[in-house]
Structure 1
Amino acid sequence: MANRGQLHPESEIRAAIAAERREIAAVLDELPGRAWDEPSLCTGWRVREVAAHMSLGFRYSFPKLAGELVKARGSLDRMTDRCARRDAAEFSTTQLAGFLRDNAHHPWKPPVGGIVAALGHDVVHGLDITVPLDVDRRIPRDRLRMLLSAVDPKSVRFFGARLDGVELRATDLDWTFGAGAPLSGSAQDLLLVTYGRKLPSGRLDGPDAGRFTLPKAN
């Protein structure tokens, strides 16, 4: 049965997580070496830092994570940044892809948000890699529906997304969120917006699209 506030059975979400991890691992397997050093949608992280971060919960025990948090003086952001940079330097690209594949069924969940947040973690960080690299990967609709059904004002605030004055309108799914000027795009691009990401130019439409678009490189 689904938990309260969770519209899909847990077994269905776990199956989606396993599939997502295997598929992202396959994408990473095919990346040319230079792509690993390209910037991701995560500010300050290259593709290799994002890939390292995605497997953090599989590789670090709770005591080790607690120790890293102490070293970071209680800052989760500092801890995850330090670990991602160190692990990205330590492990090969083959190992980083393998961590996701080998842990497809690992039960890790983020500290908040439950099992749906675990799926969101994998899907969004996967898009953090594929979108700036212009890898044509479409997230299956069932996974998008699981995540979009969980979008609410609390989750939007948690991820630092500023959606005041706009209504998100998916062009490929029957989904809207918010109120105001229309901001249209694919469901997976709008999912990134709800997670506080800015996107490359041309992916969003609407009078406020510029607020959610990356500046052009000089």
Structure 2
Amino acid sequence: MGTRTNAERMLGWVEAERLGVADLLADLDDAEWKAPSLCAGWTVRDVAAHLTLSTRTTWRMVLGGALRARGDWNRMEAEFAVRRAAAFPPAELIAQIRETAGSPRRAPMAAPADPLVDFLVHGQDIARPLGRTRAMPAEPTAAALDHVVGSPFYGARKRLRGLRLIATDADWSTGDGAAGAEEVRGPAADLLLLATGRPAGLAGVSGPGAARLAAVL
């Protein structure tokens, strides 16, 4: 029962974030859809297209895409996003996100928390360059942080080595607390951006480890 309850709670968080990002996208004008996101080389429209694939990526797509990208995962994802962005207008991309907002389906190899991380972080990738504010709810963000720092996929272990991250707006921290560990303090949203490799999170943090993390990023 406990496992099922946790799964249902995670899916509820994911659904809420999907619908929230869809609402954000629906409020953008044409110029904002064409604007650069925090993802290097990706427009806002590319990010939106990528998010529609959260429930639509298949093993066949991954295997074919990996071959075309010669095993480069980021290149494969960029190819998927750009191709889909060109295939569908903004209104259709929004409709696709809403259509499967409550779907438990995940991309191959994705963990239950990966869609949550995807929408929390990409929501910021869209909002921040446009000067828009998108709040991150505390409990889902803490869960996303736990997943990112524990997963080998995001590269956070190497990126955050020797650092102790402490959220100033949530009951969350990570790091072994060993002697010499340098603290980085800030809102959980900014820590999540930093953990996933986004320098934009540096604007909201402080502490002796901030400069070191900036150099890494």
- For the aligned pair, the TM-score class normalised by the smaller chain equals 0.7 to 0.9
Change in CA separation of 1:95 and 1:212 when aligned onto 2, cut-off 3 Å: farther
Corresponding residue for residue 147 of structure 2: 150
Deviation for aligned residue 1:190 = 0.5
Deviation for aligned residue 1:209 = 2.6
Amino acid in the other structure paired with 2:143: M
Amino acid in the other structure paired with 2:136: I
The aligned runs of 1:1-218 (5 Å cut-off) are 1-3=1-3, 9-152=6-149, 154-155=150-151, 157-161=152-156, 162-178=159-175, 179=177, 180-199=181-200, 202-212=203-213
- Distance in 1, matches of 2:90 and 2:212, equals 34
SS in structure 1 of the partner of residue 203 of structure 2: coil
Amino acid in the other structure paired with 2:153: F
Change in CA separation of 1:37 and 1:208 when aligned onto 2, cut-off 3 Å: farther
Gaps of 5+ in 1: none
Q: Tell me the TM-score normalized by structure 1.
A: 0.84
Change in CA separation of 1:150 and 1:69 when aligned onto 2, cut-off 3 Å: closer
SS in structure 2 of the partner of residue 26 of structure 1: helix
Deviation for aligned residue 1:36 = 1.6
Deviation for aligned residue 1:212 = 4.8
- Distance in 2, matches of 1:144 and 1:123, equals 7
- Partners of 2:57 and 2:108 within 8 A in 1: no
Deviation for aligned residue 1:69 = 2.7
Change in CA separation of 1:213 and 1:200 when aligned onto 2, cut-off 3 Å: farther
Deviation for aligned residue 1:102 = 1.0
Number of residue equivalences? 209
Per-residue CA shift, 1:164-201, capped at 9, x if unaligned?
23211111012111242221111111111111221166
- Partners of 2:160 and 2:213 within 8 A in 1: no
Per-residue CA shift, 1:115-139, capped at 9, x if unaligned?
1122112211112212222321111
Deviation for aligned residue 1:47 = 1.1
Per-residue CA shift, 1:1-38, capped at 9, x if unaligned?
455xx9x7101111111111111000000012211222
- Partners of 2:55 and 2:107 within 8 A in 1: no
Q: Tell me the TM-score normalized by structure 2.
A: 0.84
- Distance in 2, matches of 1:121 and 1:172, equals 21
- Distance in 2, matches of 1:187 and 1:134, equals 19
Deviation for aligned residue 1:112 = 3.7
Gaps of 5+ in 2: none
- Distance in 2, matches of 1:82 and 1:54, equals 13
- Partners of 1:181 and 1:207 within 8 A in 2: yes
SS in structure 2 of the partner of residue 119 of structure 1: helix
- Which of the two has greater helix per residue? 2
- Partners of 1:159 and 1:195 within 8 A in 2: yes
- Partners of 1:17 and 1:118 within 8 A in 2: yes
